[in-house]
Amino acid sequence: MKLAHYQIEHIREWISMQNIWYDEIKDELLDHMVCAVEEQMEFREVNFADALAQVCSEVNPQKLQRQKLKYEHLKTLKDTLGEMLKLKAVKALGLIASLSILVALGNIGTSPSTILKLYMFLTIVSVFAISASFLFRLRGKNPLSNIYVVSRSNTIISSSLIIISLTDIFLDDWLMNHTVFLFMFMGLLTWYVISGLMVLNDSYNHHRHATH
Amino acid sequence: MSSSKLLKGSLAIIVLRLLEEQEKMYGYEITQKVKELTAGEFKITEGALYPTLHKLEAEGYLTTETQLVDGRVRKYYSLTKEGNAEAKAKVSELEEFILSLQKVLNPKLGTL
């Protein structure tokens, strides 16, 4: 038994009230629910309202969205680590440039503490600015269809912030007394941030082509 | 451990196996196929199925395509090359495990 257009729209309306950000989850849920309602009406011989009530009581859209976000965050981190291992020319140049600036700062007598604070500040500002530039370029598109890039950007920004915050809380004093490790930490973080931004750039390009 | 927990633990393998045979399937079709194959013994809920599909997709084992069906979007899943290899490896691993489990649960079978 096929549902009428107004019945499908009724289900679509219910889904739109569930605070789901992802268009693809909405689409997938709609198809699943329509199939389930059609089956209930056909084999259990119940009316549309009863079949829909039964199906609505069985689905949990919020859980689906949470799980999807979790897998996407993990995938973004995995992709970033993959990028780190590839070490492309642009990343190598970025690393050399940032480390050269840091070494130059060290040579002109700037204290390790100032270098670290300045480095962390510039890293966060750069991640925010570059991520914002991707999102700004997507402003003309349907906001909900941009959620994939937003989510990946969120992973890169959040993970960078967490690394910086934890280092500031637990390793700050130790790094001040071990300058070699301080530079190693900054090198690794720069490497991570550049890799993350390259993953974000790939996601942006992929999304832009897919939605053209 | 309840049977639903056992089923949840094997769900990824079930999905990979079905897609190995069917080329491409959509979510509800998978739930119905499992129900049909097990004569209603295994009932897969959307809460278990879609997270598994999304995880396999994120891991690169599944790829997706969408089609417009009766005015709504339908998302089809199919195996990638890596997914195909993973399906074969996981099914064979599970078969060996079931065989070993049978020997433990019913030692007489092992001596036949």
Residues of chain A above pLDDT 90, percent? 21
Mean pLDDT computed over B98-106: 87
When CB atoms are compared, the residue of B26, B54, B73 closest to A71 is B54
Last residue of a domain, which of A25, A40, A59?
A: A59
- Of the candidates A75, A105, A82, the one whose C-alpha atom is nearest the C-alpha of residue A186 is A105
Round the average pLDDT of chain A to a whole number and report it: 84
The structure tokens 């036949």 sit at B112
**B73: nearest CA partner in chain A:** A27
Set of chain B residues whose Cβ sits within 8 Å of the Cβ of A8 = 70-72
When mean pLDDT is compared across A66-70, A147-151, A175-179, the lowest value belongs to A147-151
Amino acid B1: pLDDT: 47
What angle is formed at CA A155 by the lines to CA B77 and CA B62, rounded to 5 degrees?
15
Name the minimum distance, in Å, from the CA of A21 to any CA of chain B.
Answer: 16
Mean pLDDT computed over B7-27: 90
Residue-wise pLDDT tens digits, A97-139: 777 776 776 666 677 788 788 888 888 888 888 888 888 887 7
Amino acid A76: pLDDT: 86
d(CA A68, CA A47): 33
Round the average pLDDT of chain B to a whole number and report it: 87
Where in chain B are the domains?
3-107
Domain count of chain A?
2
Same domain, A158 and A179: yes
Same domain, A72 and A51: no
Name the minimum distance, in Å, from the CA of A59 to any CA of chain B.
Answer: 7
Last residue of a domain, which of A37, A59, A81?
A: A59
Same domain, A192 and A101: yes
Which domain, by its residues, includes A22? Answer: 5-59
d(CA A163, CA A179): 18
Question: Which residues lie closer than 8 Å to B14 by C-beta, 6 or more apart?
Answer: B34, B44
Assigned CATH topology for domain B3-107: Arc Repressor Mutant, subunit A (1.10.10)
Residue A145 scores a pLDDT above 80: no
